[in-house]
Amino acid sequence: MSSKFQFELVALVIFAVVIAFGVPAVMNYDGFELNTFARYLALAIVSMALALSWGVTGLLNLGQAATFGMGSYAMAMHLKLRASSGLPDFMSWNNVSELPLFWVPFNSLAFTLLAGLLIPAFIGGLIGIFMFRARIAGVFVAIITLAFLVAFQLLVINQQGLTGGQNGLTGLAQMTLFGWAFDPYSMGFYYLVAGCVTVALAIGVYLTHSKFGLVLRAIREDADRTRFFGYNVANYKTLVFCISAALAGWAGMLYTLVLEFASPTYMGVSFSLAIVIWCAVGGRESVIAAAFGAIVVNMLEGRLSDIFVEGWHLILGVIFVLVVMFMPRGIFGLLVEGAQKLRTVGRARPGHAVEPLSTTPLETNQER
């Protein structure tokens, strides 16, 4: 087990303990505050999903919000059906007289949960296959995924009778599982979201430290070289796109549960770019750092957008520019560099024993 892996496992445990015990205590177990924080946690999952494709594999997916929206709408469709007797209200307003066929299976919760993961994964995989088989890479991945996002959002908005259009899906029921209704302002619901984030992060940490993750990092550095070692680069890229999309779908489902509605703005360009910013601020190389970035930026937004209602997006933009210019590896990068400096300072002082975590460049140079 490498030291980096141990480090991330420790970080994951700390993260889990803090969100399970620390955050509720600080917020005085207040339902409203916890609901707000649960929203950040749901967004942390989608940011962490982007870290897998962007940070680890080097595929900048600007369409992450599309798969997030699919999960969100899947859940909202189920809850809308539960809330309405017969036809959902917006359909009758739009002269739709019969429940559309693709709505019917969303009566089942099991189907909804599966669909919220698998439909985004399928769509992500489909786009991935076409792009990566044709060896499209770099900035073109960003352009194609962005184009898909815009087209998909337009489709959802224009099909008002089927999707609720610009209004989205509102007036939703609460989800009930085994007779327990999910009140988004309850402690139990907060723990559900916190558990989901922890599991998603554990999956992400495992993936980045498996051989799969190593091959992904090799692909990010030099995809051609990796092919000459016998790896089917297109398949690896496609799979990471699928996984990332499924995680985004998962986050979308939780987001609908937290906010109790689904809106086409979830599939907007600005939302998609915001995910990129969270990921960059936290540090795109590590899934935990990316999740942390999402929470930090959203907490900031929660505080600052009250004060700077108009200027908030400007502030966010400035933050992004500063991060790109001065800390391209995000908060995570600062921590890594800080740890390295501390270690060299510790070693320079005689008699001050520092436990070597790993062989740093300096250490081996001194040995030589």
**In the complex, least distance from residue 145 CB atom to another protein, rounded to whole angstroms:** 22
- Residue 364 within binding range of another protein, rule CB under 8 A: yes
- Residue 355 within binding range of another protein, rule CB under 8 A: no
Q: Give the whole-angstrom CA distance, residue 4 versus residue 189.
A: 33
- Residue 12 within binding range of another protein, rule CB under 8 A: no
162: left (phi over 0), alpha (psi -120 to 50) or beta: alpha
Binds another protein by CB under 8 A, chosen from 210, 270, 299, 342: 210
Structure tokens at 123: 């769509």
Chain center to CA of 145: 16
- Residue 6 within binding range of another protein, rule CB under 8 A: no
> Residue 271 carries which side chain, given as an amino acid letter?
F
By CB under 8 A, the residues from 236 to 275 that bind another protein are: 236, 239
Residue 170 neighbours by CB distance under 10 Å: 15
Q: 38 or 239, CB closer to another protein?
A: 239
**In the complex, least distance from residue 9 CB atom to another protein, rounded to whole angstroms:** 12
Return the range that interacts with another protein (CB under 8 A); candidates 49-57, 59-67, 145-153, 211-219.
Answer: 211-219
- Residue 366 within binding range of another protein, rule CB under 8 A: no
**In the complex, least distance from residue 108 CB atom to another protein, rounded to whole angstroms:** 30
Q: Give the whole-angstrom CA distance, residue 325 versus residue 281.
A: 11
- Residue 235 within binding range of another protein, rule CB under 8 A: yes
Q: Give the whole-angstrom CA distance, residue 251 versus residue 44.
A: 8
Return the range that interacts with another protein (CB under 8 A); candidates 146-154, 184-192, 218-226, 261-269.
Answer: 218-226
276: left (phi over 0), alpha (psi -120 to 50) or beta: alpha
**In the complex, least distance from residue 33 CB atom to another protein, rounded to whole angstroms:** 39
User: Which of these, 302, 298, 75, lies nearest to 196 by C-alpha position?
Assistant: 75
Longest dimension (CA), the chain: 82
**In the complex, least distance from residue 34 CB atom to another protein, rounded to whole angstroms:** 35
Q: If you write DSSP's letter for every residue of 115-134 in order, what string do you get?
A: HHHHHHHHHHHHHHHHHHHT
User: Which of these, 241, 325, 316, 219, lies nearest to 275 by C-alpha position?
Assistant: 316
Return the range that interacts with another protein (CB under 8 A); candidates 158-166, 176-184, 225-233, 266-274.
Answer: 225-233
Structure tokens at 184: 């988004």
Return the range that interacts with another protein (CB under 8 A); candidates 61-69, 122-130, 189-197, 206-214.
Answer: 206-214
- Residue 229 within binding range of another protein, rule CB under 8 A: yes
**In the complex, least distance from residue 234 CB atom to another protein, rounded to whole angstroms:** 9
| CB-based contact 119:253 (threshold 8 Å) | no
| CB-based contact 47:291 (threshold 8 Å) | yes
Structure tokens at 108: 């089942």
Return the range that interacts with another protein (CB under 8 A); candidates 13-21, 76-84, 230-238, 266-274.
Answer: 230-238
**In the complex, least distance from residue 7 CB atom to another protein, rounded to whole angstroms:** 13
- Site residues for another protein per CB under 8 A: 1-2, 5, 207, 209-215, 217-218, 221-222, 224-233, 235-236, 239, 358-359, 361, 364, 367
